[in-house]
Amino acid sequence: MARLKGKVALITGAGSGIGRAEAILFAKEGAKVIVTDINEEKGQETVKEITSNGGEAIFMKLDVTNPKQWQEVVKKAIELYGKIDILVNNAGILISKSIEEMTLEEWDKVIKVNLYGTFYGCKFILPAMKRAGGGVIINTGSIMGIVAYPNEVAYDASKGAVRILTKAVAIEYAKYNIRVNCLCPGNTRTPMNEPWIKDPKLREEILRPQVIKRFAEPIEIAYGALFLASDESSFMTGADLVIDGGYTAT
């Protein structure tokens, strides 16, 4: 219960879903958690759950597509804690449309949140990690960055790019004792996946390739993030950690 004792972790999109599960788990493991989200109410709910159970957490509002906000959040975090040991780029969105139906504005929106948001997080936290002598970055990819799914062209493209961004940053910053890995969840019970969870026909369709015929719970993905954040993964960098119920094995 102390794998992250003394560590400071910043998690984006921590107001719900996988991000919330990661924040709660990291706090249980001893981390001071900076909960960030564009939705202040949801973010504060995560903080309340952590602090009511004896953990330490604060909320900072963050639109991951806004580089100025990123700089402000990183600056404030350093002022408060003196360092950021762990960054989890978790925030993401999904718009399900074919390439012909998708507007340029919708394409841009997905790319800005999923890819630019991850790029900004790495860009603005890496200098602080270099000064501190090391750190860990966990970028959230997806199985849809490994294999494609119909009518998710922007999401698939953004997550594929996040995987390669992760590898590029990993090889560049290994010399600074900074590890960078990509967490690739499969179908998970989150608000983003509600349409597939609620509709029996869609649920059957999306789970068909999986050998474990259910949606993952957010905590099952969070345990993967904990492994990547901890010293237990000290020899891992530039890697994909796939947690997908066997989806990509078929």
Kindly state the DSSP code that residue 238 receives in the 8-state scheme: S
pLDDT at 141: 98
Determine whether 56 is exposed, middle or buried from the number of CB atoms within 10 Å of its CB (0-12, 13-18, 19+).
middle
From residue 176, alpha-carbon distances to 29, 169, 170 in Å are 25, 11, 10
Strand partners, 61: 37
pLDDT at 196: 80
pLDDT at 153: 97
In three-state secondary structure terms, 159 is helix
Q: Give the phi and the psi of residue 177 in degrees, each rounded to 5.
A: 65, 35
For the chain, how many helices (H) and strands (E)?
9, 7
Q: DSSP characters for 7-32?
A: -EEEETTTTSHHHHHHHHHHHHTT-E
pLDDT at 216: 96
pLDDT at 214: 95
Provide block-wise average pLDDT over 10 residues at a time, the chain (250 residues): 96 98 99 99 99 99 99 98 99 96 98 99 99 98 96 97 99 99 97 86 90 97 99 99 97
Provide the residue count of the chain. 250
pLDDT at 99: 97
The backbone region for 153, taken as left when phi is positive above 0, alpha when psi lies in -120 to 50, beta otherwise, is: alpha
Q: What is the set of domains in the chain, with CATH numbers?
A: 8-241 (3.40.50.720)
Active-site residue, selected from the candidate residues 116, 120, 155, 173: 155
Q: In sequence order, what are the residues at sequence separation of 6 or more whose Cβ sits closer than 8 angstroms to the Cβ of residue 69? A: 61, 62, 63
Active-site annotation holds for 155:
yes
pLDDT at 195: 83
pLDDT at 192: 85
| Whole-number Å distance between alpha carbons of 34 and 65 | 18
pLDDT at 194: 87
pLDDT at 29: 99
